[in-house]
Amino acid sequence: MSTTKTVAVRLNGKDREVDTGHTVLTLLAELDLQPGMVVVELNRDILERERYADTEVHDGDSLELVHFVGGG
């Protein structure tokens, strides 16, 4: 039996369970996303990149992640 606790979030329109204790920054790392290449909307507010490391992800949060794609 696993003792890892999770919280329910909505990530890009889909319900998902993530481990408790995540910040936005650690969640991005778990998703293999570079913080400088993503804009995060948390509960309908754009989150400043400087706040990713100290903003905790809580049960019921809604996150939209917008990826920047390079190319020419």
Structural domain contains residue 21: yes
Q: Tell me whether residue 44 is in a domain.
A: yes
pLDDT at 22 over 80: yes
Q: Give CA–CA dist 31/40, Å, rounded.
A: 13
Q: What is the C-alpha to C-alpha distance for residues 69 and 67, in angstroms, rounded to an integer?
A: 6
Q: Is residue 1 part of a domain?
A: no
Number of domains in the chain: 1
When pLDDT is averaged across residues 54-72 and rounded to a whole number, the result is 90
Who's near 36: CB < 8 A, 6+ residues apart? 49
- pTM confidence score: 0.88
Residue range of the domain that includes 20: 6-67
Q: What CATH number is associated with residue 22?
A: 3.10.20.30
Contact 14, 7 (CB under 8 A): no
Q: Render pLDDT for 24-42 as a digit per residue (tens, 0 to 9).
A: 999 999 999 999 999 999 9
Pairwise CA distance, residues 40 & 11, whole Å: 10
Residue 72 has pLDDT above 70, yes or no: no
